[in-house]
Amino acid sequence: MPADTARSLDADKSEGEREIERIFALQKKAYGENPFPSYDRRVAALDKITRLLEVNEDRFVTAINADFGNRSKYETIIAEVMTTASGVKNAKKNLKKWMRPRGVATPLHMLPAKSKIEPQPLGVIGIIAPWNYPVELALAPAAAALAAGNRVMIKPSELTPRAGEAMRDAIAAEFDESEVAVITGGIETGQAFSETPFDHLLFTGSTAIGTRVAQAAAKNLTPVTLELGGKSPVILDKSADMEKAARSVAYGKAFNAGQTCIAPDYVLAPTDQLEAFVESVARNARELYPEIDKTSDYTAIISDRHFDRLKSMVEEVRDRGAKIVEVGSSNALHPQRKLPLTLIIDPPRDSGIMKEEIFGPILPILPVASPEDAIAHVNAGDRPLALYWYGEDDDVRDQVLQKTVSGGVTVNDTLWHFAQENLPFGGVGKSGSGAYHGEAGFVSFSHMKPVFYQSRFSSGGKLQPPFGPHTEKVLSLVRKII
């Protein structure tokens, strides 16, 4: 390409696109110069993540609160800082074991050769983080990628610009940009980021955007991990402790005002327990947020657009005659861009609230006649990112686990499978593909290279041409032992 043509094409690119290309080239070069960082270097990178969390905790709390309009300080500390720090600690504890080549059994007829799987860094990992947990869902996968020996580029959401800037500055203070860098910018920058030929790309967000990201990545055959969402059900068995279940569901739904990819989306309750369960959820929500109309513990909705979408969902089912129980006053909460915790009893199945992922503090509660009916309801929809089951009947629990497919499950609580670092986290079907957390994250961001070590005593030469009677004898022997 002529130089003047190249300059013209470059001039047409945005500042964000040029920055992405510059840092990507820098990181690819750095990877080429050190394609297998030592254990000590990887630990040092993880220590930098721990340090930046400690140093910037207050700044992250302030930035995220400003982006949301109100975000509980303690929700940020628990979900963004402590959860990320726990994952980093787990990676450090297990890193030597994860890095070690794994021996694989070699078939008898191939002995005395040896077989191993040897983890190898992929190169440059791209991470597209969402707005709902802007620090944790950027730094947790970054830590996994660094543990695997990679370079990392992060694109935060444009809906949380202050959190993105805080993270960019925090990372720049600890890391050289050839190792980890943050690219801020709007939708066009995000599009260019997803089209970059990373060695692996992780996206967390909606199914609709995830589809577009996967299509953009496919142009470069970039492998992707998609952490999406969907309508994650709660199944309440008749054997459940209703009061404990109601408090757990109220907490799981109200945390971050329901703006959580694994938040309980709706409840399937035994018909004869539905009204009592609704009352118990409302009562427990009032205990969790005794001054919900003015407490800073209750988080705001991220934007006017999301707020209006949620309100319209409620108004649709209200107009269609659904019974609605609100915890909190809409008059007091709406000016703060907050919604009451809203329980919708048996809404129409064709309403928006039953077809779309809610992603807010609205909880439909539906009656079901039996566990079989609950299973059928779940299986009639797309496979969810999470499923929650409450009860004490082990046979029914196992029936639900075996006959439904979901990304992950917590039994007798919500959300906790995400926090267990030794469990892989990921979706299935339209709720996502691939997984990370713990060893699963290390594996996702590694090439698990198969290596066959042939022995000098190999008898493989006996199967090489020229073929003849000896070949028949060798094949006869091999057939007996394979």
Residue 278: exposure state from Cβ atoms within 10 A (0-12, 13-18, ≥19): buried
Known active-site residue 227: yes
> One of 261, 357, 421, 439 is an active-site residue; which one?
261
Per-residue pLDDT tens for 344-362? 999 999 999 999 999 999 9
pLDDT per position as a tens digit, 92-126: 999 999 999 999 999 988 999 999 999 999 999 99
Look at residue 101 in the predicted model and tell me its pLDDT.
97
pLDDT given at position 5:
46
- How does pLDDT run across 300-351, given as a tens digit for each residue? 999 999 999 999 999 999 999 999 999 999 999 999 999 999 999 999 999 9
Residue 181 has pLDDT above 50, yes or no: yes
Q: Which of 406, 403, 376 is nearest to 388 (CA)?
A: 406
Cα–Cα distance measured from residue 273 to residue 411, given in angstroms and rounded to the nearest whole number: 19
pLDDT confidence band for 9 (50 / 70 / 90): very low
Average pLDDT value for the chain? 95
CB neighbour list of residue 243: distance below 8 Å, 6 or more residues apart: 280, 284
User: Per the residue annotation, which of 80, 227, 357, 439 is the catalytic one?
Assistant: 227
What residues contact residue 379 under an 8 Å CB cut-off, 6+ apart? 403, 404, 405
Question: 447 has which bridge partners?
Answer: 120
Q: At what angle do helices 274-288 and 242-254 cross, to 10 degrees?
A: 50
Q: Annotated catalytic, 261?
A: yes
Q: Which domains does the chain have, with CATH numbers?
A: 7-228+435-447 (3.40.605.10), 233-422 (3.40.309.10)
Q: Is the pLDDT of residue 4 over 60?
A: no
In Å, how far are 88, 95, 125, 173 from 119, measured between CA atoms?
19, 12, 16, 30
> What tens digit of pLDDT does each residue of 170-179 get?
999 999 999 9
- Tens digit of pLDDT for each residue in 356-413? 999 999 999 999 999 999 999 999 999 999 999 999 999 999 999 999 999 999 999 9
Residue 236 pLDDT class (50, 70, 90 cuts) = very high
Dump pLDDT digits (tens) for 289-303: 999 999 999 999 999
As a whole number of angstroms, the distance between CA 350 and CA 355 comes to 7
The pTM score is 0.94
Residue 331, pLDDT score: 96
The whole-number pLDDT of residue 270 equals 98
